[in-house]
Amino acid sequence: MHINTVGSKDSTVGSLIRTIVDGCSIKGVESLVVCGKGQGDYVLQSKFGFLFNVLKARLFDNDGFQSVASTKKLCDIIEREQPKIVHIHNLHGYYIDLRLLSRTLLKYDCKVVITMHDCWLTTGHCASIPVECDQWVKGCNRCNFKCLYPRAWFKGDTAGRLLEKKEFVRSLGDRLTIVTPTRWMSNKLHNSILPFHENIVIAHGVSEIFCNKKSHECKPGTKHGLNILAVARIWTPGKNLDGILRVARKMPESWVIRIVGKIPHKIKCNAMNNVVFDNREVDEYALSNYYSCSDVTLSASAYESFGMTIAESLTADVPVVVNKHAATSELLRVPALDNVITAEQPYPVRADGICIDFGVPDENGVCGNFDVSSVIRAIGLAAKLKPVTKYEPGNMIESYYNLYKNRLGKI
């Protein structure tokens, strides 16, 4: 049984779940998807119920520790279906009371897998840990980031919430396996105050749509220049759109950056000749075409726990430039290529792309200082590379199937 905020394919985690479910079903594993909203075998709440839980979380900073009605419904489903493995994904998202779920899981002799798609489990509030914050390793006694998702208008008992998460993990004992998509996330887990548990790393796999070879015929908008792509489903402050626009102002006129994804109204973007905005959430087919038309994919985000757009880009044969402060740097697995460097560079060059300091945005999305000229040089150099690392879905499916098999002894 998979449990997540949403179950539909139009969300990153929902799409991953569907890929795992479909892939493992071929191997004889039957699965159910239970979600707080959207599409699933079971949907726990109505739109009104979801909005009411959002309001309560805004007021009391208690996302993950309220939503009693939807959690009771989830517990009834667990009791009725009696799954051998409960696979938990995001516990935040205004649909779960962790305490009620914990009591139900303790009643039954089922194995529990938690995939940490972000850092919410290791903090008293935040899903993404700000680079400058160290409170999560000290107990979250003084949280200064209530404005970050899941946003709250007033400060709550972050220290108490983190202790409750610690107790939740401790109570599951050896029945629990925690999966992280990167070693970066695994390090966050082991540096947190959560008790040590078995942890394995399984990289996310991308949709089959991105596994087709890059088409070199599609190059609209440039002549003797570069097509640069920057993608986010929603350009939250941590995605560092400000840093990308700083680069756009200084880069050669023949280069074009296409910025894809929904931009919130509070983020101001002035029109520029070499920047094309596609201000919407695009589907996989449209995104695949964008990769085909690009020379380089740019990720300035400092708060990625994996970086699906980077995995998609590499799988589609498009090299990348990523921010060294995020887990996206780990996706560039191939050793440095010294022979590519024609002059001394302040950054490592790999076959997949380049990892560079892109600054760290504040809570309003305003980026700190970084060397814009170095980023521009990195983009030009990255465009000459040919990625070799792929994140095809088969590897992820096989890894989760083996995990389920090992936890049960047989399937």
Q: Give CA–CA dist 219/333, Å, rounded.
A: 28
Which residues have a Cβ under 8 Å from the Cβ of 346 and sit 6 or more positions away?
356, 371, 374
The closest of 5, 10, 8, 2 to 30, measured between CA atoms, is: 2
Residue with tokens 């430039």: 321
Q: Tokens at residue 234, please?
A: 């929603």
Note the pLDDT tens digit of each residue in 44-54: 999 999 999 99
Q: Which residue has the higher pLDDT, 90 or 131?
A: 90
User: Is the confidence at residue 29, as pLDDT, over 80?
Assistant: yes
Q: Give CA–CA dist 197/210, Å, rounded.
A: 34
Least confident of 68-72, 129-133, 134-138: 129-133
Least confident of 37-41, 170-174, 278-282, 359-363: 359-363
Note the pLDDT tens digit of each residue in 305-353: 999 999 999 999 999 999 988 899 899 876 655 545 444 555 667 778 9
Least confident of 61-75, 316-330, 361-375: 361-375
pTM, entire model: 0.89
Q: Environment class of residue 234 by beta-carbon count within 10 Å: exposed (0-12), middle (13-18) or buried (19+)?
A: exposed
Q: Give CA–CA dist 128/226, Å, rounded.
A: 32
The predicted structure's pLDDT at residue 282 = 83
3-class secondary-structure state, position 251: coil
Note the pLDDT tens digit of each residue in 223-271: 558 999 999 988 888 898 989 999 999 999 999 999 999 887 666 666 6
Which residues have a Cβ under 8 Å from the Cβ of 109 and sit 6 or more positions away?
none
